[in-house]
Structure 1
Amino acid sequence: MGGLLTLGQMLGVQARLQGERIGAFDLERRMSFAQWEERANRLANGLLGFGLAKGDRVAVLAYNRIEWAEIYAAAAKAGLVAVPINFRLTAPEIRFILEDCGAAALIAEDRLLGPVEEIGRDLHIPADRLVHLGAGRVPAGWRGYEDLIQAAAAAAPGIAVAPEDPWCLMYTSGTTGNPKGAIRGHRGMSMLAMMTRVEFGLRRHDEALLVMPMCHANSLNFFSAFLFGGSAVGIFSRPSFDAGLCLRTLAGTGTTFTSLVPTHYEMMLDCRARAGGDFGRVEKLLVSSAPARAETKRAVMEMFPNSGLFELYGSTEAGWVTMLHPDEQFEQLGSVGREVVGSAPIRLLDDAGQEVPDGAPGELFSCSPYAFDGYWKLPEKTAEAYRGDYLTVGDIAVRGPGGFIRLLDRKKNMIITGGENVYPAEVEAVLAAHPAVRDAVVIGLPDAKWGERVHAVIVPREGAALAEAELLDWSRGRLAGYKRPRSCSFLRDEEIPRNATGKVLHRVLKAQLAATLGG
């Protein structure tokens, strides 16, 4: 075992030490650590019974539900590689992932069979390795998930799984083209789990409510951390975010921690008066994936009076990179904090690979013992991501006083207008401060004179009246001339393309608007 337990082995430890305690639950079902261990063992044995071998990839297409806990644990125990697929993807996008990873089996929820059926004959997975998850009728030729579990042995499979072995293959959101598969190994995930418990001060009695999709790195990372320390893992089992239900769940259970994006918090604040409830048990909240405004943070802290608010920056490839702690929220507004525990000092480099001075923008490189193991079948992309032991995903940042890091934007989202570099996130943060703006997205559109022009896409607050001229005039004095939007359009929130975590897909939005709003 190399002196480090895998997550599958750690579940066995928890089942032995505290088997009767609740280990995992969703909004419909609860199971103890002992029950979780047995079902994970049975699923692992059932998958191996298909003829799968160590290292084979098992793709999973499902909404949030408790079975994710069983599937991830079963893959860890069997030496298989879980490939979580974003349930928002289209059939061609799903087909790309299945073909790229060479999936040997597929577990799919009944409510998501449409894209699988659309792929049809292009699905190069044997029919007897298709597993149907859910209460609906099992399609002809498929195996029922529960049937598979009940028919398999309850003892742990006799597969030697080493810390160096891969556990998950997580495909990036594909904001700049086809997604890349990021290989996450047992060693890195176990080390990230331990670091997360230290950074957040997690204890055994803590209880997570995982709202972000279980196919995403955010929930996988916290799933691992809570399992590793023997804390209960709760999964918000709904296809989409329901702010009122989330609030009622936080008030009515023993949840002490949850991780949400700013949009989720805004939605909960909007319905707080109607939801009611006591949130005194919630002790730790995390905001990630996008910056939150000061007024949002203050309102959240008022709604959860006993909770500390953390802010985190990370990526599928790097894991956690920086953390802003509760006592730093307003002293370092706009920052994502400093390096997390166990990381080497962040490096900000220019295009020549030289360190930039404090206050100057540079590409962010991080170094930690829990970074990913490379891109699947893309050694050249893996090499491009590293400079020595330091890893980048193309984010641009500046370092301020005290070493606090402020993100500007993705390098590939950068707008070049009249020879000047504009980082959309910087402009978005300014526009979002307008009292009538609920959300702002900034993209570059073709411009005959400037090459690209800065264009703002605005989601107004409910009931607010806002005209283009008013917003453009408001930005004067708040943004340098070359950063100010030259044009503006208004959309509803549901019209903004986002990935599974709510992060805006700038490339997709740009493509949608370029034809009608181009130069």
Structure 2
Amino acid sequence: MKDLLNFGEMLSVHARLAPNSLGTRDLDRSMTFGQWNDRACRLANALLGLGLAKGDRVAILAYNCVEWSEIFAATAKAGLVALPINFRLVGKEVEFIVNNAEAAAVIVQDELVGVVEEIRDALPVKADRFIHFGTRQCPAGYRDYEAFLSAGSARETNQHVALSDPWTLMYTSGTTGNPKGVVRSHRSAVLLSMVTEIELGLHRTDGALLVMPMCHANSLNFFGAFGYCGGVNSIYSRKSFDPEHAVKTLAEGGSTFTSLVPTHYIMMLGLPQATRAKYNFDAVTKLMISSAPARPETKREVMDMFPNSGLFELYGATETGWVTMLHPHEQFTKLGSVGRECVGAAPIKLLDEAGNEVPDGETGELYSCNAHTFDSYWRLPEKTAQAFRGDYCSVGDMARRDADGYIHLSDRKSNMIISGGENIYPSEVEALVGAHPLVKDVAVIGLPDDKWGESVHAVIVLHDGAALTEGELSAWSKERMAGFKRPRSYKFISEDEMPRNATGKVLHRELKKRFSD
């Protein structure tokens, strides 16, 4: 009996049934399902023709663009593993991921070639497996994406790809400082797409405006869902979020859905009323707010701005996929909750430190169980084992359940900062800032920020007799970490002022309380 179809196979079905229907696009280029499938087949065969074998990782470093649609479909068809890399990372961060994943090929957009060139000699990729795309001339030492793709066969590959095979390897920061690779199978992607379609009530007449980076799980998961149901995936291919342009694109682009972080909505709500009044949002029927806590007043204003649209809120993670969903009809009765378990999931468990379930109203660590949970952390069996209790998975979030079964997040992963929808782990930033020779100790915390949700703040203890300015430390950090991770402010304190527990561990919560007041 035939199993479920993976994304590459499903694209082939759409190309056969609706070859001339719009399938995917960005702000500059569009493709029908027929064209999309043709190009995905050519890219898949071209990659296999380079000698890549089933399971090999293909790193992608690019801004949002329609090429992501081709690459994700091509890797699915070829049995290769897509390795999306955050375009905000600096060279050393990219180097760690490519080397840790042992990537067999790199596909890079022209504006980001400099990042690759900085570290190229340290990468495990063979010299003939660097592929360049974009509007600029292909640099020496790279294959031209269009020429490479065109030379590939338009036939479907003869590669056997099982649903249990991995499709994506996405890196998420770990509490130890080094990013962890999250392995997700084709089966996980298919089942999460189905859950999304059911929860949102999707149809082939729906279309998604994918604003969040395609290297993030949020956009990839919605991309899969709309691709499976035959809707249009519109990729917002601007390198930065322009609220008026986004509003215009959403109003005039034909999309019925978008998923944004609270920061995006706040920026859109900040537009002058006269500007917002120029656009008609009647076609927008579904909105998602996720990836960071949303204040009740923000959600109310969003619902006022888009009166024809239902507002959904979800809670999930790269590892777990969607865990809970709050639906439009629940927004006013359960404002502040992230909803209840998504369809098909087992009841959430909230456990104390001893592994016992806590009563309703009390806080415990959240464990979820569903069919689309990740397979493993890449080559980290101990970390994988720590994430699971049987079939239940936790990413360290704390929550409580009310009497009606709705989940309320009480805390996030230990000390984690969420700024503009990006997960930032203090330990990673502390390791980089702490490498400065004049820094004796550093603690990184998140402080409230009206626009970004939280901003990164570093509390510094210098070595005795050392002198260092905020500007000097900021310049040091700029060379060593991505912009979204860098501290926005620094506070210098004495060693005696750094709060610690009995074992000497820094009390981040005490610092956060002190500097938030």
Match in the other structure for 2:78: 78
Contact 2:58–2:105 (CA under 8 A) maintained in structure 1: yes
Match in the other structure for 1:7: 7
C-alpha offsets along residues 28-50 of structure 1, whole Å, 9 cap, x if unaligned?
11110000000000000111111
In 1, the alpha carbon distance for the partners of 2:384 and 2:371 equals 16
**CA deviation after TM superposition for structure 1 residue 386, in Å:** 0.3
C-alpha offsets along residues 13-36 of structure 1, whole Å, 9 cap, x if unaligned?
011111110000111111100000
**CA deviation after TM superposition for structure 1 residue 174, in Å:** 4.2
Residue identity (%): 57
**CA deviation after TM superposition for structure 1 residue 458, in Å:** 4.3
In 2, the alpha carbon distance for the partners of 1:372 and 1:456 equals 28
User: Secondary structure in 2 aligned to 1:131?
Assistant: strand
In 2, the alpha carbon distance for the partners of 1:272 and 1:369 equals 44
**CA deviation after TM superposition for structure 1 residue 456, in Å:** 7.1
**CA deviation after TM superposition for structure 1 residue 460, in Å:** 5.8
Match in the other structure for 1:344: 346
C-alpha offsets along residues 287-315 of structure 1, whole Å, 9 cap, x if unaligned?
00112122211211111111000000000
RMSD in angstroms over aligned alpha carbons? 2.8
C-alpha offsets along residues 355-409 of structure 1, whole Å, 9 cap, x if unaligned?
1111111110000011111111011110000000000001011111201101122
Change in CA separation of 1:370 and 1:68 when aligned onto 2, cut-off 3 Å: same
**CA deviation after TM superposition for structure 1 residue 259, in Å:** 0.0
Structure 2 counterpart of 1:155, which letter?
R
Within the candidate set 281, 289, 292, 1:287 is matched to 289
In 1, the alpha carbon distance for the partners of 2:121 and 2:426 equals 39
In 2, the alpha carbon distance for the partners of 1:453 and 1:355 equals 33
Match in the other structure for 1:147: 147
Contact 2:263–2:451 (CA under 8 A) maintained in structure 1: no
In 2, the alpha carbon distance for the partners of 1:375 and 1:268 equals 37
C-alpha offsets along residues 59-113 of structure 1, whole Å, 9 cap, x if unaligned?
0000000000000000000000000000011111100000000000000011011
For structure 2, which runs of at least 5 residues remain unmatched after alignment?
Answer: 431-441, 453-473, 499-517
Q: Mean Cα displacement is larger for which, 47-56 or 326-335?
A: 326-335
User: Secondary structure in 2 aligned to 1:141?
Assistant: coil
In 2, the alpha carbon distance for the partners of 1:41 and 1:442 equals 39
Change in CA separation of 1:19 and 1:177 when aligned onto 2, cut-off 3 Å: same
Change in CA separation of 1:125 and 1:75 when aligned onto 2, cut-off 3 Å: same
In 2, the alpha carbon distance for the partners of 1:453 and 1:15 equals 53
Contact 2:64–2:236 (CA under 8 A) maintained in structure 1: yes
Match in the other structure for 1:189: 189
Contact 1:442–1:457 (CA under 8 A) maintained in structure 2: no
Match in the other structure for 1:367: 369
Contact 1:290–1:503 (CA under 8 A) maintained in structure 2: no
Contact 1:176–1:412 (CA under 8 A) maintained in structure 2: no
Contact 1:289–1:503 (CA under 8 A) maintained in structure 2: no
Change in CA separation of 1:390 and 1:460 when aligned onto 2, cut-off 3 Å: closer
**CA deviation after TM superposition for structure 1 residue 330, in Å:** 1.9
Match in the other structure for 1:486: none
- Structure 2 counterparts to residues 42-441 of structure 1, below 5 A: 42-174=42-174, 176-271=176-271, 273=273, 274-275=275-276, 276-413=278-415
Contact 1:312–1:323 (CA under 8 A) maintained in structure 2: yes
Match in the other structure for 1:457: 447
**CA deviation after TM superposition for structure 1 residue 120, in Å:** 3.0
Contact 1:285–1:310 (CA under 8 A) maintained in structure 2: yes
In 2, the alpha carbon distance for the partners of 1:295 and 1:202 equals 27
In 1, the alpha carbon distance for the partners of 2:178 and 2:426 equals 20
Change in CA separation of 1:460 and 1:379 when aligned onto 2, cut-off 3 Å: closer
Contact 1:25–1:235 (CA under 8 A) maintained in structure 2: yes
In 2, the alpha carbon distance for the partners of 1:394 and 1:504 equals 22
**CA deviation after TM superposition for structure 1 residue 412, in Å:** 1.6
**CA deviation after TM superposition for structure 1 residue 152, in Å:** 1.0
For structure 1, which runs of at least 5 residues remain unmatched after alignment?
Answer: 415-423, 429-440, 447-451, 463-493
Change in CA separation of 1:455 and 1:166 when aligned onto 2, cut-off 3 Å: closer
Change in CA separation of 1:53 and 1:216 when aligned onto 2, cut-off 3 Å: same
Q: Spell out structure 1 runs of 4+ moving beyond 3 A.
A: 173-176, 441-444, 452-456, 458-462, 502-505, 512-519
